[in-house]
Each structure stands twice: as structure tokens, then as C-alpha cells.
Amino acid sequence: MNLKIKTSIFLALALLNIANATPTGKALANSKCVKCHLPTTPTPKEMKRLKAPPFDAILFHAKDALKEESKVKKHIVEFTLNPNVSKSVCESNKVAKFGLMPSQKGSVTKEELEKIADYLYANYPTEKFVKLITKMQTDSKINALKNSPFLINIDTLPHLTKILMRNWDKEALNLSKEQKEKLLVVRKETMTGVKKIKQALKPIESEIVDLMYDGADLKTIQPKVDKVAKLKKQATMIHLKCLKDTIEILNDEQIEYIAPFWDL
């Protein structure tokens, strides 16, 4: 065989090899998942238009909730084939917002998913996303504190119904239908009461600011401060009642499950 033929056979084989090369986890994720899941860290603008959680967010929550590498990968494979609200690691309010993922059975195989899971586990969440989410969590905490109508704002007296809403459908929390109905009543009562107080607080606080700028006598201002204090006391009592009622509805295991979320 002359060199020319040898070279072309070699080239043909090499090309064949490329065509047959099995796609990488990254290529598979790109072709099968990114039409819904953003592979980059979302910008604040993109954040508002998401169709599904970005890979960053999924892996952030999955690693946080499941801890072990094998469990995270298994979850990705199993969830993608059989999505199930109660098994989701994402917050329940987010799943409700996006809608449950349609099963990808038929468009991706278990073997392909294992590769995708390896790829996702190794590359997400990105450092950039972790920084972003940490900042967002801090900002929202500061915001909540700034606008808080309560007298007592400490992590160990949490807003339990909010934490529960985020874990509402989780299998691990296992809320019964009856419990959910009772909890919704408590939440509604609490929200209505607190909202009224917030609305009453706003004008009084503005008045205090105006009086201060006008150089008013502190004696004129004090009754308004007393009013603010009284309203905040009422809001705090509503909060404590909510906490008490909620704890009464839950069993010990459920309280144990949500306890780690208290210092969010």
C-alpha cells in the first residue's frame, strides 16, 4: 500500500472515530437540558425570565439537601426520568412557580443521564452563583429587618409558616392534608393581621420623620413613638401566636425537619 492510500485510510478511520465518539456529559446536557435549564449563572434580568431553575440553582439545592455525591447524582438521574413534587430538592414555592418538570423519559437514557449527572456534579454550582445567592439571601434578610413590623427579630423565633411554605410538598416533611388546611388558616390569619399593622405603621413613621425635620419638640413626637411601639407589640403577639399554633399542628419529627431552616 502506498503512503497516500495509507494516509487516507488513516484519515477515514479517524473521522469515523470522531463520528462514533460518544458525546460527553457536557454535550448531552447542552443538547437535552439547556433549552429549559440555563447553563450559565443568571443575570438579574435573566433571573426574572427563567423557565426552570438554572443548573447552578439545582446543584446548589441538591448538594445542600442531599450532601452525599452518590445521592445527588442518583437524584438527578431518577428525578429527570420520574419527576415527583414530593422528592424535589427545590423549594416547594419554586416548583409551584415553574410547574413540575415534564419527564424526559424517551429523550434521554439512564446511561446518558449518569454522564450528565457526573458533569453537573463536577461543575455546579459555580463560585459566582454561590456568591450571588449568598448576597441575595443577605440582602433579603436586611430588607426584611428594615421593614419589620415586629419588636423581636431573632432567628430563633422564626417565621415558621414561611419556612413551611418553602417545604410544603416535601416527602421528608410529610404534611397531611388536614395539617395543610389548618396551617393555611393560621397563615392567613397571621398575614392579614400583620398587613394591617404594617399599613398603620407607615404613616406614623413618616410623621415622626417629618416632625424631626421640622425641628419639633420631642414631647410632641413621643406619643407617636408610643403608638409605633404599641403596634409593633401587637404584631409581635400575632407572630408568637402563629408560632404557637403552628407548633401545635406539627409533630416532633416535622419540627425536627424544619428546625435547621430556622436560622435562614
- Site for ligand HEC, rule CB under 6 A: 32-33, 35-37, 52-53, 58, 76, 79-80, 83, 88-90, 95, 98-102, 104, 108, 116
Decide if 165 contacts 93 (C-beta within 8 A).
Answer: yes
- Nearer to ligand HEC by C-beta: 87 or 227? 87
Q: How far is the CB of 124 from ligand HEC (least distance, A)?
A: 11
Handedness of CA 119, 64, 242, 143 (dihedral sign): negative
Cβ distance to ligand HEC smaller for residue 89 or 175:
89
Residue 160 CB, shortest distance to ligand HEC, in Å, is 23
- When the beta carbons of 34 and 221 are compared against ligand HEC, the nearer one is 34
In angstroms, the Cα distances linking 245 to 137, 185, 195, 256 are 27, 10, 19, 16
Smallest distance, Å, CB 136 to ligand HEC? 19
How far is residue 247 CA from its own chain's centroid?
A: 23
Nearer to ligand HEC, 33 or 164 (CB): 33
User: Residue 171 has which C-alpha cell?
Assistant: 416527602
Would you say 33 or 194 has its CB closer to ligand HEC?
Answer: 33
- C-alpha 20: how far from its chain's center? 40
Contact 164, 92 (CB under 8 A): no
Closer residue to ligand HEC (CB): 94 or 182: 94
User: What cell does 192 get?
Assistant: 392579614
Q: In this structure, how many other beta carbons lie within 10 angstroms of the beta carbon of residue 135? A: 10
Measured in Å, how far apart are the chain's first and last C-alpha atoms? 73
Q: For the CB of residue 162, give the shortest distance to ligand HEC in the complex, in Å.
A: 19
CA–CA dist 41, 133 (Å, integer): 10
CB of residue 122 to ligand HEC, shortest distance in Å: 14
Tell me the C-alpha distance between 24 and 91, whole Å.
30
**Least Å from the CB of residue 81 to ligand HEC:** 9
